[in-house]
């Protein structure tokens, strides 16, 4: 037997939702040979009366843990050792950790087990560049401006905000907002003149202030349109992409979504339990309602990854290193490897978006 190979046989069965089931056989000899290693590992962590930690003889350790526990620990060690070899030999592109079920286990006999794992699915993309070009021709390159009414509406809100702020500065002990003047009335607002404009920023005249507001409104319209069109573009690509979505990816997206909700609720100063009572739902209700959205997010990431692979879009490692350092400096408990995956994924996604939203050549 090849010394690198720690299993006898592996039979692969494809399952729905991009999963495979691996029926693996490990010889009794291999199982027995790992027993000593497991005992050595256990001896380093166990505290047994009459012996210094890590110094108890192996037969004493074996008696202390019991034969059933020792057999189970050895079987798990054997499967952990065999699993990477199976993935390489069978060319399985696995996602995450397998679910293990041991079906036969006894000293001196072959170990039989089934390993069930998600795999990276085959993704069949549509002609995404053609779809992107169509969307750009239909929605891209627009000209955005602002009407006089829109500009004046913004100016009015700015004047109301200034009046409100000035009143509270002049009446610091007033906590009841109902006591201040009616700022919908012109006489209670600051005069719109060049002096007012200068207070709002580097403006010498009201016309300069208006011009900046006009640019801001136009830019906001452009950004909203770009976001709307980007969503429509990727919705069409997702709809026309064929791929089985592994449950593990859907569950991962659900976990992120629920985690984000819990963070938002906590920032509002409310416990998640009280929030659920308020909306009369359980966490499982929310998970069920959001599952379709999680499936869409998981599929979107598969689409992004596949396009990046086809277009050879890779992140600049200097930027990756700098961003990972920022994250780990900001969040001291952050796992550097998870931070790296997050940064690389974000940069790859940005690269794909940039490719598909640029003006066609």
- Cβ-based neighbours of 140, under 8 Å, separated by 6 or more: 229, 357, 359
Is the CB of residue 123 less than 8 Å from the CB of residue 302? yes
pLDDT, one tens digit per residue, over 116-133 is 999 999 999 999 999 999
Greater pLDDT, 172 or 273: 273
- What is the pLDDT at residue 44? 75
- What is the pLDDT at residue 52? 67
pLDDT band at 186 (very low <50, low <70, confident <90, very high): very high
Other C-beta atoms within 10 Å of 173: how many? 5
Residue ranges and CATH numbers for the domains of the chain are: 9-119 (3.30.70.1050), 122-128+141-241 (no CATH)
Is the CB of residue 242 less than 8 Å from the CB of residue 302? no
Other C-beta atoms within 10 Å of 272: how many? 15
Greater pLDDT, 54 or 103: 103
- What is the pLDDT at residue 1? 41
* Cα(112)–Cα(43) distance, integer angstroms: 27
pLDDT, one tens digit per residue, over 309-351 is 999 999 999 999 999 999 999 988 888 888 999 999 999 999 9
pLDDT at 230 over 90: yes
Residue 182: exposure state from Cβ atoms within 10 A (0-12, 13-18, ≥19): exposed
Residue 60 is classified by DSSP as H
pLDDT at 257 over 70: yes
pLDDT band at 97 (very low <50, low <70, confident <90, very high): confident
pLDDT at 2 over 50: no
Mean of all residue pLDDT scores within the chain: 91
Q: What is the mean pLDDT of residues 122-148?
A: 91
pLDDT at 32 over 50: yes
Q: What is the CA radius of gyration of the chain?
A: 31
pLDDT band at 177 (very low <50, low <70, confident <90, very high): low
Structure tokens at 127: 């002609």
């Amino acid at each position: 037997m090849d010394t690198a190979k720690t299993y006898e046989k592996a039979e692969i069965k494809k399952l729905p939702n991009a999963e495979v089931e691996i029926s693996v056989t490990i010889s009794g000899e291999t199982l027995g040979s790992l027993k000593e290693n497991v005992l050595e590992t256990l001896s380093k962590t166990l505290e047994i009366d009459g012996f210094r930690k890590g110094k108890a003889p192996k037969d004493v350790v074996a008696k202390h843990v019991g034969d059933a526990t020792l057999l189970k620990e050895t079987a798990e060690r054997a499967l952990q050792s065999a699993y990477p070899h199976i993935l390489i030999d069978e060319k399985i592109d696995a996602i995450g950790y397998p679910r293990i079920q041991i079906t036969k286990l006894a000293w001196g006999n072959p170990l039989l087990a089934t390993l069930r794992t998600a795999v990276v699915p085959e993704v069949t993309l549509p002609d995404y560049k053609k779809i992107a070009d169509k969307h750009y021709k239909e929605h891209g390159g627009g000209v955005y401006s602002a009407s006089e009414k829109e500009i004046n509406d913004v100016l009015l809100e700015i004047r109301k905000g200034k009046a409100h702020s000035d009143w509270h500065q002049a009446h610091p002990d007033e906590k009841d907002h109902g006591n201040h003047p009616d700022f919908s009335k012109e006489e209670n607002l600051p005069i719109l003149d060049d002096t007012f404009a200068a207070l709002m920023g580097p403006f010498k005249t009201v016309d300069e202030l208006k011009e900046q507001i006009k640019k801001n409104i136009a830019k906001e319209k452009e950004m909203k349109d770009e976001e709307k069109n980007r969503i429509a573009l990727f919705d069409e690509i997702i709809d026309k992409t064929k791929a089985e979505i592994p449950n593990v990816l859907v569950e991962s997206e659900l976990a992120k979504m629920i985690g984000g909700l819990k963070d938002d609720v906590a920032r509002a100063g409310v416990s998640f339990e009280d929030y659920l009572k308020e909306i009369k739902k359980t966490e499982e209700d929310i998970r069920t309602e959001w599952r379709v959205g999680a499936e869409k997010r998981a599929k979107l990431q598969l689409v992004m990854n596949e396009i990046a692979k086809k277009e050879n879009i890779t992140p600049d490692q200097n930027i990756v290193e700098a961003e990972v350092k920022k994250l780990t400096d900001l969040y001291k408990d952050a796992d550097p490897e998870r931070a790296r995956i997050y940064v690389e994924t974000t940069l790859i996604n940005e690269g794909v978006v940039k490719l598909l939203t640029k003006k066609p050549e």
